[in-house]
Amino acid sequence: MGASLTNPHPLARRAFLGGLAASAAFAAGAASTAFAAGAAPSAPKKTGPYADGMSFLPEKPEDVRRSGVDLFIADVSKGEMDVDARGYKFYHRKFELCDRSITEAAARIRTEFKDVDLALSPGDIGNPGRIAAVFQFQGCEPIADDLSRMQYFRDKGLRILQLTHNESNAHATAYTDEKTGVGLSALGADGVREMNRIGLVPDVSHASEPTALETVALSKAPVILSHGACRALLNHPRGATDRMIKAVADSGGIFGVFVMSFWLTDDPVPLPAHYVAHIRHAVNVAGLDNVGVANDYPMEGLSADGHPFDNARDTVPSYGPWWEGNRARGIPGFGPTPTHAVIPEFNSIERLARIHQALLDGGFKPREADRIMGANWTRFFKENLR
């Protein structure tokens, strides 16, 4: 994600005015540790792979190695701001733009990212000293009604295709239209079958509950929800319901919990413990083997105007207009403008190590934390990438 609503990944830009006064009382089940309270985190011993369920190729290739990641899903789609038939602004991922962006991303992997392999098959996953990048598009807009484009983009390295982003499309209904009760269209159902046929992993992040459940029911291959939060802990349609989380897990897929704080808590101060609570809930619903971590911000951390993102200064300018526009549309969950967008401790190139420490501080055993931090995503791609 970028730092403003005009950037390629609007979800990462719904920032909120910083009310970082007074510490928030945290709900039952969260550990109250020195790390969660804001003390400088210690680096845990890395005993397994780190995987990120949603990130982007950084501008500086060395940041991939600095992050400690061993495998990451990279959204390589590209779009531009547009207006749909209803008059709503949205980030439109067009065929021509995505064709160019995936070509450029693959070229960058070959020429700039000396430690990174474009993951096309199981043999590209988990190799010592190498980092695997799995290409993804956030939405079927570049496919439109031409399903042959799925094979076209797969030939260029695409391995994961998300059905929707923030707005519904010809294939499926997004969370912003969940109240309609509509899921997959006939085209979308044919698209899921084509993904199964050619070997693209369906991703139901951003989808409405009907879209997610219908996709899992139809797909003959595992379905993932690469980046999301638990609606049971924060009632917003962008969060996944327990039914969605369990359906993805039962399909053999992975549910990735992301770090976008306004989807994790409406407390005024977002803490690592809030993130751990979503991980814990997801594990309780999906099982330990079907939960992973995700980012959804730039690998080096979210920024605004060239500076590290400050919740108090940057949330409303970055995310307020988008949030308020959705509230005006009557979309459930878009109430008061949020006061934060990042968990400060996690808005760093050291995010993964800090999440690892937070899991340990939150009561997860080392072997459990290893599975969540990367072993689950690694196993999934070894078994399902083709």
Classify 161 as helix, strand or coil.
Answer: strand
The answer to whether the CB of 315 falls within 8 A of the CB of 268 is no
The answer to whether the CB of 8 falls within 8 A of the CB of 79 is yes
Interior/surface letters 150-170, b for 16+ CB within 10 angstroms, e for the rest: bebbbebbbbbbbbbbbbbbe
Helix locations, the chain, DSSP H:
62-67, 95-111, 148-155, 186-198, 209-218, 242-250, 272-286, 311-328, 351-361, 366-370, 376-384
Amino acid at 108: R
Consecutive H or E run containing 292: strand 291-293
CATH 3.20.20.140 matches 10-384? yes
- For 26-60, how does the pLDDT look when each residue is reduced to its tens digit (9 = 90+)? 333 333 333 444 454 568 999 999 999 999 999 99
pTM to 2 decimals? 0.89
In this predicted structure, what is the pLDDT of residue 29? 37
Crossing angle for the helix pair 272-286 and 242-250, to the nearest 10 degrees: 60
How does residue 19 score in pLDDT terms, banded at 50, 70 and 90?
very low
- For 230-277, how does the pLDDT look when each residue is reduced to its tens digit (9 = 90+)? 999 999 999 999 999 999 999 999 999 999 999 999 999 999 999 999
Beta bridge partners of 74: 55, 135
- For 314-354, how does the pLDDT look when each residue is reduced to its tens digit (9 = 90+)? 999 999 999 999 999 999 999 999 999 999 999 999 999 99
Cα 287 vs. chain centroid, distance in angstroms? 19
